[in-house]
């Protein structure tokens, strides 16, 4: 997991009725000088239009993140209370993990003020430096903190790294466990995931799992996406002898990494007793070129005599991204009439859908689709 | 619409008359639409008030609509962007929710606190700012920083040379004041007037042009005050404009430039004439010569000779052009180049082509004809220009398998230099003992002269191979190893057989012909494994 950059300083700043914008409390003390604050205070205690917005100013070697809050009420000296609790991080650090924290803290303080006059009551306000230093040390140490303030309010914070959007899972994708299924703590997961897990074996595709487990396909996709996000499974393609794969530059890793070689040999062996030689395994991987189907590879090298299981060979290669699948995309040429037999399939022949996709959507088998495409002169195919 | 397109460009000054927004583009009809203290919901006295609003109180509205910054009034922008003098002369970076302001403020005159307000100059500092979406990558922000800095510095220079900025400022202020005196019904947006035809506000027009060019092509080329040339390209955009799906990152471009080799060929992405016309008049004559000599059929080495330039300069020029996306990324059309130089037969070239080019995207063409035609070169060039093709390279691995325990030894060199030149400390003892107990073939016979010669050659093997008798044996077991010449060649090429070098690179380094290399690989095929994949440095397709 990527390391979260440390928080350098937390300060509480407010609009003082007579002194204007000031830093009221700061932990550690004097991290940000008064001059520095005066330079940037327009972005911290700012115009009311910008309240409740996350403002980050990168200046003077710091990134200062704050969310100014303005509470209007006639009970305050200037009819409003303006404050901002800011985090300071390194100028080069990423702000992404802290954004939510700054917002949340602003929310907590607003609530506390509205409920208990936490900020306008000097006595209560003086506990703030203590709270701030706890937030600072606990977030930097463990990434989480829970600080009870009073009977009804507790500050809960957790640093969460932003993650990338979940990958799309298609009907024809095949999930496969990255490590042994036995290591998997099944009862931690929700019921649907528990239900589909027995069917994740590296051969069943999503649509099939949905049918076998009688779970709605979108639910299956959701579970698979979730497992994918936690790096428990990988997505590979349906194994077919007509598939074409090609090696990726990652193959160098296999050539150099002794441990990976060892696990590879173990994985692709036909039976536990007879270990295939690495030379042969490597040769088979390198034999995967554009234009060579798995069937061609098998006839050329006969993996069975080499004690290699070609299905597992492909699985391992896909899991470790040593190889990638080349898909076949049928494409209807625009200026030709085409035949009636395949007309209903033309909507798929845009160059955006590959064979697996079309087969899954239309229920045709690979062979049936291939025959139709082959017999229609107005459709060409493209491997990519 | 791209994520990294700017959403606004601003010019702010601060001086004795306070902070002023001199120019903004794109201009809205009215400032301050979205950013209101209270939502419109509460202003309607008849609206039902929900006592407990489950949503957070007046959650802010997004400030970018249709790729344009909205909701920031002119006053607010002036307030935010007219910075304190401490922040001048360095990069400015402010993020407010979904908008990031990137700029470079410049201090024109340093003033002390004691200066009476009356004596303050009308312009103390100015600030050129570009607003982008907050989620853009840091590299985009860095690029915009560079642009704003270039603009700011050129404005500064012109101000010092001839008071350009002040003149322009007065013009802009004049227009703004003019508008305020107009009757209400004939209100015109002052910024619109500034960029209207016939307006004298050159600066406003320039800034508008910068914004428009960034949005259209990603390339800015501009003469500030018809004097200072400012040129800039947004690498994120220029490289992706033809094939938006590919998403080529500038880091990849950098990697690619570093991977430039003398055997690479270059491909012009724009027509030569158009390129020559677009060059600034003061551009280096070497560049013109270089561009005239460029052809996808030539390798850089040949190019250097043709353009009569040192190879180093050719490298600089080509990396420059690659960065600006005028040149295609180094694609090796050496196959073609080789052919014109008569390196190998036509069928071999075509064979390479048909096998090595992966057809990409929805353009399908058949390149499998054996006859080599200029038209097909054209087709390949066309597809390369649109990046529809990936080039695959052949890499060679030396994978040895000892017979005993199916134990695999993989050998990898640690230095890329050819070990044959290295002084090798011959360890005769270990060699003798290694051969005597390991290989019955050599131990049972007295060493013949050829045997000795073989030992001599094997001694040149890289250390990790040489020291291990099992490895040496595996090499000697290949029938071709009996031929001393072949063995010699094999040993010479050994450092390249680690999957890091493709055939073209080996050919270049060792001055070999493709046929020679292929024959050797074929002879030693029992211990050499070849595989084809795209070069990680120059390829962006590998999914």
Tokens of A367: 């062979």
Q: Check whether residue B272 and residue B197 sit in a common domain.
A: no
DSSP class of residue A6?
Answer: P
B510 part of a folded domain: yes
Last residue of a domain, one of B280, B311, B328: B328
Could B500 and A275 be called an inter-chain contact, meaning their C-beta atoms sit closer than 8 Å?
no
Q: Check whether residue B84 and residue B198 sit in a common domain.
A: yes
Q: Check whether residue A29 and residue A107 sit in a common domain.
A: yes
Q: Check whether residue B281 and residue B139 sit in a common domain.
A: no
Residue of B379, B382, B324 whose CA lies nearest to B354: B379
Q: Check whether residue B195 and residue B76 sit in a common domain.
A: yes
Q: Check whether residue B190 and residue B265 sit in a common domain.
A: no
- Residue A317 to residue A246: CA distance in whole angstroms: 10
pLDDT score at B101: 93
Considering only CB atoms, A49 lies closest to which of B76, B410, B531, namely B76
Q: Check whether residue A233 and residue A145 sit in a common domain.
A: no
Render pLDDT for A97-113 as a digit per residue (tens, 0 to 9).
888 889 999 999 998 89
Render pLDDT for B493-528 as a digit per residue (tens, 0 to 9).
888 888 888 887 888 888 888 888 888 888 888 888
A311 part of a folded domain: yes
Q: Check whether residue A63 and residue A151 sit in a common domain.
A: yes
Q: Check whether residue B394 and residue B524 sit in a common domain.
A: yes
Render pLDDT for B320-344 as a digit per residue (tens, 0 to 9).
887 877 665 544 443 332 222 222 2
Residues 6+ apart with CB under 8 A from A368: none
Q: Check whether residue A212 and residue A270 sit in a common domain.
A: no
Residues 6+ apart with CB under 8 A from A237: A172, A173, A174, A243, A318, A325, A356
Contact residues, chain B, for A275 at CB < 8 Å: 406
Residues within 8 A of A (CB atoms), B 178-207 only:
none
How many independent structural domains does chain B possess?
Answer: 3
B415 part of a folded domain: no
Mutate to test the interface with A, among B57, B58, B95 (most CBs of A within 10 A): B95
- Residue B184 to residue B182: CA distance in whole angstroms: 6
Tokens of A25: 């409390």
- The nearest CA of chain A is from the CA of B336 a distance in Å of 21
Last residue of a domain, one of B278, B312, B328: B328
DSSP states of B128-194: EEEEEETTS-HHHHHHHHHHHHHHHHHHHHHHHHH-HHHHHHHHHHHHHHHHHHS-GGG---HHHHH
Q: Check whether residue A191 and residue A257 sit in a common domain.
A: no
Q: At what angle do helices B300-307 and B311-323 cross, to 10 degrees?
A: 110
Give Cα separations from B487 to A323, B493, B504, B521, B524 (angstroms).
32, 10, 21, 11, 9
Q: Check whether residue A147 and residue A21 sit in a common domain.
A: yes
Burial class from Cβ neighbours inside 10 Å (0-12, 13-18, 19+) for residue A180 reads exposed
Q: Check whether residue A283 and residue A152 sit in a common domain.
A: no
Contact residues, chain A, for B362 at CB < 8 Å: 329, 331, 350-351, 382
pLDDT score at B46: 65
Q: Check whether residue B314 and residue B200 sit in a common domain.
A: no
- Residue B38 to residue B59: CA distance in whole angstroms: 10
- Residue A229 to residue A237: CA distance in whole angstroms: 18
B58 touches chain A (CB under 8 A): yes
Q: How confident is the model at residue B249 (pLDDT cuts 50, 70, 90)?
A: confident
Mutate to test the interface with A, among B406, B411, B502 (most CBs of A within 10 A): B406
Q: Check whether residue A153 and residue A215 sit in a common domain.
A: no
Considering only CB atoms, A278 lies closest to which of B392, B399, B543, namely B399
Render pLDDT for B168-188 as a digit per residue (tens, 0 to 9).
988 888 888 888 888 777 777
Residues within 8 A of B (CB atoms), A 90-129 only:
95, 107, 110
Q: Check whether residue B318 and residue B396 sit in a common domain.
A: no
pLDDT score at B102: 93
pLDDT score at B128: 92
pLDDT > 80? residue B290: yes
B488 part of a folded domain: yes
B408 part of a folded domain: no
- Residue A43 to residue A88: CA distance in whole angstroms: 13
DSSP H helical segments within B239-370, as ranges? 250-258, 272-278, 285-293, 300-307, 311-323, 334-340, 346-356
B439 part of a folded domain: no
pLDDT higher at A340 or B522: B522
Burial class from Cβ neighbours inside 10 Å (0-12, 13-18, 19+) for residue B201 reads buried
pLDDT higher at A167 or A312: A312
Phi-psi group of B67: left, alpha or beta (phi > 0 → left; psi -120 to 50 → alpha; rest → beta): left
Provide the domain limits for residue A182.
173-237
Last residue of a domain, one of B275, B295, B328: B328
Q: Check whether residue B135 and residue B270 sit in a common domain.
A: no
Q: Check whether residue B265 and residue B197 sit in a common domain.
A: no
A163 part of a folded domain: no
B229 part of a folded domain: no
A195 touches chain B (CB under 8 A): no
By the 8 A CB rule, do B20 and B14 touch? yes
How many independent structural domains does chain A possess?
Answer: 4
Last residue of a domain, one of A125, A158, A191: A158
DSSP states of A292-322: -BHHHHHHHH-TTTTTB-HHHHHHHHHHTTS
Q: Check whether residue B76 and residue B196 sit in a common domain.
A: yes
Residues 6+ apart with CB under 8 A from A347: none
Q: Check whether residue A15 and residue A124 sit in a common domain.
A: yes
A180 part of a folded domain: yes
Could A54 and B84 be called an inter-chain contact, meaning their C-beta atoms sit closer than 8 Å?
no
* Cα-trace Rg, chain A: 30
B57 part of a folded domain: no
CA angle A128, A133, A134 (to 5 degrees): 95
For residue A59, the SS3 value is: strand
A166 part of a folded domain: no
B337 part of a folded domain: no
Q: Check whether residue A33 and residue A152 sit in a common domain.
A: yes
Q: Check whether residue A252 and residue A343 sit in a common domain.
A: no
* Residue in chain A lying closest to B34 (CA): A49
DSSP H/E element including A221: helix A217-229
State the first-to-last Cα distance of chain B, in angstroms, to the nearest integer. 24
DSSP states of B96-137: ETTEEEEEEEEESS---TTS-GGGS-S-SEEEEEEEEETTS-
Render pLDDT for B340-399 as a digit per residue (tens, 0 to 9).
222 222 223 333 333 233 333 222 333 333 344 566 666 666 666 666 666 677 888 887
Q: Check whether residue B196 and residue B266 sit in a common domain.
A: no
Provide the domain limits for residue B297.
260-328
For residue B488, the SS3 value is: helix
For residue B340, the SS3 value is: helix
Residue of B5, B320, B3, B324 whose CA lies nearest to B144: B5
Q: Check whether residue A20 and residue A99 sit in a common domain.
A: yes
Burial class from Cβ neighbours inside 10 Å (0-12, 13-18, 19+) for residue A347 reads exposed
Residues within 8 A of A (CB atoms), B 319-358 only:
355, 358
């Amino acid at each position: 997991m990527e390391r979260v950059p440390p928080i350098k300083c937390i300060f509480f700043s407010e609009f003082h009725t007579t002194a204007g914008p000031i830093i009221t409390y700061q932990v550690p003390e004097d991290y940000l000088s008064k001059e520095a604050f005066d330079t940037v205070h327009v972005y911290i205690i700012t115009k009311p239009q910008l309240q409740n917005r996350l403002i980050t100013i990168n200046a003077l070697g710091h990134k200062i993140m704050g969310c100014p809050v303005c509470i209007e009420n006639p009970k305050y000296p200037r009819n409003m209370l303006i404050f901002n609790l800011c985090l300071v991080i390194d100028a080069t650090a990423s702000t992404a993990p802290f954004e939510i924290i700054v917002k949340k803290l602003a929310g907590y303080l607003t609530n506390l003020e509205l409920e208990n006059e936490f900020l306008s009551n000097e006595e209560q306000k003086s506990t703030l430096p203590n709270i701030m230093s706890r937030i600072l040390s606990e977030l930097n140490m463990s990434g989480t903190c829970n600080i009870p303030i009073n009977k009804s309010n507790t500050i809960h914070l957790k640093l969460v790294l932003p993650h990338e959007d979940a990958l799309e899972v298609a009907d024809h994708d095949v999930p496969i466990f990255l490590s042994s299924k036995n290591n998997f703590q099944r009862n931690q997961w929700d019921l649907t995931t528990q239900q589909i897990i027995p069917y994740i074996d590296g051969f069943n595709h999503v649509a099939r799992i949905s049918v076998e487990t009688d779970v709605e396909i979108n639910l299956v996709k959701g579970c698979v996406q979730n497992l994918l996000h936690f790096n428990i499974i990988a997505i590979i393609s349906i194994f077919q002898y007509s598939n074409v794969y090609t090696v990726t530059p990652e193959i160098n890793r296999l050539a150099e990494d002794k441990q990976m070689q060892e696990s590879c040999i173990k994985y692709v062996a036909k039976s536990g007793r007879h270990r295939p030689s690495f030379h042969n395994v490597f040769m088979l991987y390198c034999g995967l070129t554009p234009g060579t189907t798995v069937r061609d590879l098998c006839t050329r090298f006969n993996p069975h005599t080499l004690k290699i299981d070609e299905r597992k060979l492909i699985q391992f290669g896909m899991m470790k991204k040593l190889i990638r699948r080349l898909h076949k995309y049928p494409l209807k040429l625009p200026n030709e009439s085409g035949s009636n037999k395949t007309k209903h399939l033309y909507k798929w022949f845009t160059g955006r859908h590959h064979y697996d996709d079309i087969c899954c959507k239309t229920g045709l088998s690979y062979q049936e689709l291939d025959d139709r495409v082959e017999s229609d002169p107005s459709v060409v195919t493209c491997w990519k | 619409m791209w994520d990294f397109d700017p959403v606004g460009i601003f010019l702010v000054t601060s001086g004795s008359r306070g902070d002023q927004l001199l120019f903004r583009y794109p201009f809205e009809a009215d400032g301050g639409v979205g950013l209101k203290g209270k939502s419109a919901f509460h202003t309607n006295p008849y609206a039902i008030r929900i006592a407990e609003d489950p949503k957070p109180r007046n959650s802010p509205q997004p400030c970018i609509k249709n790729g344009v910054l909205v909701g920031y009034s002119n006053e607010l922008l002036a307030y935010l962007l007219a910075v304190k003098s401490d922040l001048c002369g360095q990069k400015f970076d402010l993020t407010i929710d979904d908008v990031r302001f990137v700029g470079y403020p410049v201090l024109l005159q340093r003033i002390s606190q004691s200066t009476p307000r009356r004596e303050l100059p009308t312009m103390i500092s100015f600030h050129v700012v570009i607003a982008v979406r907050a989620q853009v990558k840091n590299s985009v922000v860095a690029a915009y920083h560079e642009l704003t800095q270039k603009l700011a510095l050129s404005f500064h220079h012109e101000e010092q040379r001839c008071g350009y900025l002040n003149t322009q400022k007065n013009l802009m202020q004049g227009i703004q004041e003019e508008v305020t005196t107009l009757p209400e019904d004939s209100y015109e947006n002052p910024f619109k007037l500034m960029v209207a035809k016939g307006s004298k506000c050159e600066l406003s027009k320039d800034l508008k042009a910068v914004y428009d060019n960034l949005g259209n092509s990603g390339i800015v080329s501009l003469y500030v005050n018809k004097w200072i040339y400012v040129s800039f390209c947004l690498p994120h955009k220029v490289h992706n404009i033809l094939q938006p799906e590919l998403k080529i990152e500038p880091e990849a471009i950098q990697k690619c430039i570093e991977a430039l080799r003398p055997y690479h060929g270059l491909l012009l992405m724009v027509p030569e004439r158009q390129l020559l016309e677009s060059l600034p008049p003061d551009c280096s004559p070497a560049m013109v010569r270089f561009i005239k000599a460029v052809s996808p059929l030539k390798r850089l080495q040949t190019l250097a000779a043709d353009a009569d330039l040192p190879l180093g300069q050719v490298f600089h020029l080509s990396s420059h052009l690659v960065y600006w996306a005028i040149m295609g990324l180094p694609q090796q059309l050496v196959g073609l180049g080789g052919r014109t130089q008569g390196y190998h037969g036509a069928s071999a070239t075509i064979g390479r082509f048909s096998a090595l080019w992966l057809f990409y995207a929805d353009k399908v063409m058949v390149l499998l004809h054996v006859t080599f035609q200029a038209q097909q070169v054209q087709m390949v060039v066309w597809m390369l220009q649109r990046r529809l093709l990936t080039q695959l390279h052949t890499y060679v691995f030396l994978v040895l398998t000892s017979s005993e325990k199916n134990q695999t030894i993989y050998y990898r060199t640690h230095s890329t230099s050819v070990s044959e030149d290295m002084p090798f400390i011959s360890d005769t003892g270990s060699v003798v003992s290694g051969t005597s107990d390991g290989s019955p073939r050599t131990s049972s016979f007295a060493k013949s002269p050829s045997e000795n010669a073989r030992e001599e050659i094997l001694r040149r093997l890289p250390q990790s191979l040489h020291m291990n008798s099992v490895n040496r044996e595996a090499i000697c077991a290949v029938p071709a190893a009996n031929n001393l010449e072949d063995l010699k060649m094999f040993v010479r090429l050994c450092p390249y057989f680690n999957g890091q070098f493709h055939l073209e690179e080996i050919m270049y380094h060792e001055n070999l012909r493709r046929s020679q290399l292929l024959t050797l690989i074929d002879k030693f095929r029992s211990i050499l494994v070849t595989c084809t994949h795209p070069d990680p440095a120059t390829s962006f397709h590998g999914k």
